[in-house]
Structure 1
């Protein structure tokens, strides 16, 4: 192929550049692929014609497609690109992807789904052998675009229907285990803090309808696990607050919860990041963990263990998820492969952030 295009410009072909420069198509091809065979004056003329037309060079897809494999994977995530590096859990996941790709000599293309138009363009045109779709919200149009590409893809932590590969953990069991740990310690008054329930964060208390209808499978299953643990203990529904993942939202949540229910003794958080924000803000208020409040997280990031006090959390294999997703795309595929589900183990890690409520606190 000898063409170049952008989302907003018509396709410019190698022949168009040749015509504009008054040379043969072979000369244009040499300028871009074997410039040493072309005189400097002629090369500059062709390059100027290419720039004026917006032509960036021969499309490498033709050569790559003839080879049958690009040896690269596209990783798509719901958050901004900096989230690949700023969020500790996502960083662990991406580390697993990178390890597995490096072992196979494959490259990685990162795609953020925060801008649907740009992400759609990247999915339609990315030179990859397949996609890893990480924590997208259900119904996301990018899933349909990935299907239309006809390339293999793996959904991580959300369902995409029969016939497609999935890597996941049992979020419901992990959440229920975390809540049960606090119940067993004697806590009876909780606040559940969750990251965004929809693509757009709405900081505030979450009613049952929003919790049940969240377009994120992870959110629904974790909230369901907490809810069922409380119900099995004979407790009434506990308040759920959508904080998002940022510190300001968590501060707002702590203030709102303690104003509405001063008897609260434990915070149950859908991620370690949220839980660590809770502990940091409580400390700024002069409140102690676990003396005044117990806090439990979910993910098992490195900072959960190094924080003081260390965080009780549900550890999931972030690196293992990334490695498993790459293996499903680049590994050997049995006849009729598709619809494979890889469920990885989780474990409760008891740190220093949880303890029985102190005497005198409401039971």
Structure 2
């Protein structure tokens, strides 16, 4: 004979056993100050006897319609939030802003496509911040189905109806190249963030223009415009794709500096890549910036602590995070694309080229 599973004790069962209305029993747990002490004690005693642990916090929050929490989702692994310098800085800014507002932050895994709908649909949040949504159109579609506020960051999708916050990658890169050119550099090389998944090494114009990731493409186009403005042929400046890790960056640097006339300046599309490049230069016996100047992009905190301190194009991370949290909590919505400027931060890693 099968063992009978006992029915779950509900609030109405406690109310009936205690001889009070269900509304009174509910108030004992949610608004005890309005219930007489002897009634509270009786209801709690009955609840303990029946094994009732109290109303569902989740259910209570959902009925209230506001949980005061932001969901942050990315199509990257959850480790991305802790390992990637840019994502880590962004999460720190989001967390600080939520702390100031007494709000919570929930990381939502969107990596597993089979669990994506469940993870987004079951997240107990007021709205979502979606990171690195290039190639993540399904994440946007499923998030829309929740009918909660949301905003996308670092998105390259063509859908202009997606509320998005980003930085001006094109003009930021143009300013970075103009800085190097203004110092007198004419032999340059570009280290790119990923153009396509798994693709590293020398890239040609077609590969850049057909890149999967708009950030990499737009930054390359910005560099090229600055080169053209001083009469240089952009194709004379080699561009090497990396996997944004040490191994692929060091491999690219070895190829770049195997040329008969190696560059005197490196344009790196991220601070992380720039710092890997500086490390390779030091290991190869070259001085930064005495022999080779290096400029990064993003403005992560580690760039200011590097040796030498890294010149970079800083993103307005606090402003990005503030706008994103505002949107996710339903305060101020982002309409269409909000593009923010970057700022040139001059430090120690760039200088005029060495005298011949």
TM-score, structure 2 as length reference: 0.81
Alignment correspondent of 1:346: 342
1:145 to 142, 146, 159: 142
Larger Rg: 2
Relative to structure 1, the CA distance from residue 78 to residue 187 in structure 2 (aligned partners, 3 Å threshold; closer, same or farther) is farther
Provide the C-alpha distance between the structure 2 equivalents of 1:164 and 1:59, rounded to a whole number of angstroms: 34
Relative to structure 1, the CA distance from residue 38 to residue 58 in structure 2 (aligned partners, 3 Å threshold; closer, same or farther) is closer
CA contact (8 A) 2:160 2:336 kept: no
Gaps of 5+ in 1: 1-18, 48-56
Task: Answer yes or no: is 1:23 the counterpart of 2:7.
Answer: yes
Alignment correspondent of 2:22: none
Gaps of 5+ in 2: 15-28, 30-43
Matched residue SS, 2:151 = strand
Alignment correspondent of 2:316: 317
Count of matched residue positions in the alignment of Structure 1 and Structure 2? 323
CA contact (8 A) 1:29 1:58 kept: no
CA contact (8 A) 1:90 1:318 kept: no
Alignment correspondent of 1:357: 353
- State the Cα deviation string for residues 182-230 of structure 1 (Å, max 9, x = none): 11222222221122223x3322222323322223232221111112112
CA contact (8 A) 1:136 1:216 kept: no
Paired residues for 1:8-157 under 5 Å: 20-23=4-7, 26=10, 37-39=47-49, 62-157=59-154
Task: Answer yes or no: is 1:291 the counterpart of 2:287.
Answer: no
Relative to structure 1, the CA distance from residue 202 to residue 114 in structure 2 (aligned partners, 3 Å threshold; closer, same or farther) is farther
Q: CA deviation at 1:126?
A: 1.2
Deviates more, 1:172-181 or 1:306-315: 306-315
Alignment correspondent of 1:162: 160
- State the Cα deviation string for residues 149-169 of structure 1 (Å, max 9, x = none): 222111112255333322222
Q: CA deviation at 1:177?
A: 0.2
1:183 to 172, 176, 181: 181
Q: CA deviation at 1:250?
A: 0.9
CA contact (8 A) 1:94 1:319 kept: no
Relative to structure 1, the CA distance from residue 26 to residue 165 in structure 2 (aligned partners, 3 Å threshold; closer, same or farther) is same
CA contact (8 A) 1:290 1:353 kept: yes
Relative to structure 1, the CA distance from residue 109 to residue 251 in structure 2 (aligned partners, 3 Å threshold; closer, same or farther) is same
Matched residue SS, 2:355 = coil
Matched residue SS, 1:263 = coil
Q: CA deviation at 1:36?
A: 7.7
Matched residue SS, 1:192 = strand
Alignment correspondent of 1:5: none
Q: CA deviation at 1:345?
A: 3.6
TM-score, structure 1 as length reference: 0.79
CA contact (8 A) 1:75 1:111 kept: yes
Matched residue SS, 1:155 = strand
Alignment correspondent of 1:243: 242
Relative to structure 1, the CA distance from residue 75 to residue 283 in structure 2 (aligned partners, 3 Å threshold; closer, same or farther) is same
Q: CA deviation at 1:281?
A: 1.3
